[in-house]
Amino acid sequence: MTIVIVDYEVGNFRNVQRAFEKINTETIISSDPDVISSAPAIVLPGVGAFRTAMDNIERLELDSVLNNRAAVGTPILGICLGMQLLAKTSTEGGGLRKGLGLLPMEVEQLSVQNTDLRLPHIGWNNISVSPNSQLFQGIETPDPDFYFVHSFRVIPTDASIISAICSYGNDFVCAAEWGSIFAVQFHPEKSQQYGREVLKAFAEISQTSSSA
């Protein structure tokens, strides 16, 4: 099984690939709709701006491909901006931009009003994991630290997708799971041992799914 890391021309895909190499999981980086159409599992990484990313995804005609894969239950993991792209809409960059709409959630700026907190939210922050979460099953501590770099966050319209919460001024949802769709706001590829556990869990889910 080879996981496909979607290259939509924004962000640093090699670092995600290296982290998978570290846990002996094969990946390829591709922006080819045909390759992604037959992927057993998909990672949507990303840093940068929502609008540019969605524009690229639509230009590369990957939106319908990703929708089709989601519909047939292919495991998909969105990381950071990749998590936000799975949402229905985002307010980043002004106005409302349509996302992939694969998870029932919307993207808005982190709320740090009436606090002395800074934006972007940069650095290591502990999260609080839901007991039933699949992505965090390899982590024993209930409040592991992960590396975050972001100014926007998702707001679920269906609370059942929440798999972890982080607190920065206010609580926000930093991980979501819904059927075969997974999303994390932090960077597992930069979060040392806990990050590796999250990627390992996704690789195992993908393996089980592709051999089913």
Residue positions annotated with a catalytic role: 80, 187, 189
**Cβ contact 31:9 at 8 Å:** yes
Question: CA 129, 132, 134 angle in degrees (round to 5)?
Answer: 85
Question: CA 108, 109, 115 angle in degrees (round to 5)?
Answer: 135
Part of the chain binding another protein (CB under 8 A), chosen from 16-24, 64-72, 101-109, 172-180: 16-24
Binding flag, residue 120, another protein (CB under 8 A):
yes
For 78, phi and psi rounded to 5 degrees? Answer: -100, 135
Part of the chain binding another protein (CB under 8 A), chosen from 30-38, 95-103, 112-120, 171-179: 112-120
**Residue numbers 135-174 binding another protein by CB under 8 A:** 145, 147, 149-151, 167-168
Distance CA 149, CA 209 (A): 31
Closest approach, Cβ 35 to another protein, in A, equals 21
Binding mask 75-94 for another protein (x = CB under 8 A): ------x-------------
Record the tokens describing residue 116, joined without a space.
Answer: 């002395």
- Binding another protein by CB under 8 A: which of 19, 44, 65, 79? 19
- Binding another protein by CB under 8 A: which of 135, 164, 195, 205? 195
Which CB sits closer to another protein, 29 or 60? 29
Written as one string, the DSSP assignment of 90-121 is E-TTSS-EE----SSEEEEE---TTS---SSE
Distance CA 89, CA 41 (A): 24
Residues lying near another protein in the complex (CB under 8 A) are found at 10, 12, 14-15, 18-19, 22, 47-49, 81, 117-126, 145, 147, 149-151, 167-168, 187, 189-192, 195-196
